Structure 1
Amino acid sequence: MFFTDPARTPDPEAVAARLPRGAAVVYRAFGAPDALARARRLRAICKARGLVLLIGADEGLAQGARADGVHLPQRLAARAGRIKRAHPSWIVTAAAHGEAAARRAARAGADAAVVSPVFPSRSPSAGRPLGVMRLSLIARRAGVPVYALGGVSNENARRLVDAGVAGLAAVEGLASRT
């Protein structure tokens, strides 16, 4: 999963163009005036490359861009069920910063929880890292698939696999590595 960030990845289209088939792009517009145009460009890239496009916290933008679904911040996770009922084919993920939040996302109807931060991260919003063992426990108890976010890199992703959370890692900072 690649989460856009206007400050850290000002050209998300270039990053999306290099992602492997099956990866997901979470476009977070943060009120950008060109959000629909950028979302549509990302949608075209995703469709051509076999990627999934989720729009961060904006159901209307997701509809306008013909995205594959939405990603909700933890504070909006309770909306997952309503969104799934309105758009049954959409993928709906929700952020979770701990076990209780991951379980709430599952109960609300989210398809997956994106748990963070797992490792120390440069993200301005990152809190204290959960660590691999705590993530593993959350993944077992969440009730939905769990994706790791926050400081995950090609170098430390192996620790997630070794802890039994294989296939659940989201790599941040991909722009500087690809």
Structure 2
Amino acid sequence: MARCYSADMGKRQSIRGQMVPQCLLLTDARNDTGLERAIRRLPRGSALVFRHYHLRVAERRQRFRRLAALARANGVSVIGARVPAHWRCDGVYGSAQEVAGRAGLRLATAHSLREIATAARAGADAVLLSPVFATRSHPGGRALGPLRFLMLARQSPLPMIALGGMTRQRAARLSSAGPIAGWAAIDGLA
């Protein structure tokens, strides 16, 4: 079984009775062909963040059903990004505005202290702060770097999940240096 976090990452955090996953696999067109294998390797208590924005509605729904069934069979939560409420997700992922008032675990995206504060006001349970490192999702984009990420994490009122160029090794290094609730990846887990 793949380990998604280091022993130093500590206990999982509970928010409103919801457990914040320590390891999150984000779906994308790039990792689609390896998702089934990657989901089977995730430790129980991890989460699959279903995005698949590139698919048409009918194809997206069909892909969601297959991946959600596999995730749940393996003890992995299913978090939806821009999915209808009737798709039965364990939570939602997106901007502060997209997660505000939604049911389940609310995971907001942020890139700055201002966006972290906005997520907190919107009622997010945790924040995926990115990009920590350079990433293929945003080639040439400016990364926070580990020091800035840790500085922002220390100032955050919410649990912080590292995203962007993350690998198991980078997550272990970050968690040993500061407050990190978990980590998320597209390529780093697929």
SS of equivalent residue, structure 2 residue 182? coil
Which gives a bigger RCO, structure 1 or 2 (Cα 8 Å, sep 6+)?
2
Structure number with the higher strand fraction is: 2
Partner of 2:129: 115
CA contact (8 A) 2:28 2:186 kept: no
The partner residue of 2:89 within 37, 57, 67 is 67
Aligned length: 165
C-alpha change, 1:107 and 1:20, in structure 2 (3 Å) is: same
Partner of 2:17: none
SS of equivalent residue, structure 1 residue 155? helix
Within 5 A, what are the aligned runs for 1:1-178?
1-33=24-56, 34-58=59-83, 60=84, 63-72=85-94, 74=95, 77-83=96-102, 87=103, 90-124=104-138, 127-175=141-189
Q: 1:167: how far off?
A: 4.1
**2 CA distance for matches of 1:147 and 1:164?**
12
CA contact (8 A) 1:15 1:174 kept: no
Give the unaligned 5+ runs of structure 1.
none
Q: 1:120: how far off?
A: 1.5
Paired letter, 1:118: V
C-alpha change, 1:118 and 1:12, in structure 2 (3 Å) is: same
C-alpha change, 1:159 and 1:118, in structure 2 (3 Å) is: same
Q: 1:65: how far off?
A: 2.7
String of CA shifts for 1:29-52, please: whole Å, max 9, x gaps: 215131111111122112211111
CA contact (8 A) 1:9 1:175 kept: no
Give the unaligned 5+ runs of structure 2.
1-23
SS of equivalent residue, structure 1 residue 109? coil
Q: 1:119: how far off?
A: 1.1
**2 CA distance for matches of 1:122 and 1:15?**
18
**1 CA distance for matches of 2:144 and 2:173?**
13
String of CA shifts for 1:116-139, please: whole Å, max 9, x gaps: 000121223672111122111211
TM-score, with structure 1 as normaliser: 0.82
Paired letter, 2:99: A
Q: 1:158: how far off?
A: 2.6
String of CA shifts for 1:90-117, please: whole Å, max 9, x gaps: 1111110111111111111111110000
Q: CA RMSD in A?
A: 2.0
TM-score, with structure 2 as normaliser: 0.78
Q: 1:82: how far off?
A: 2.2
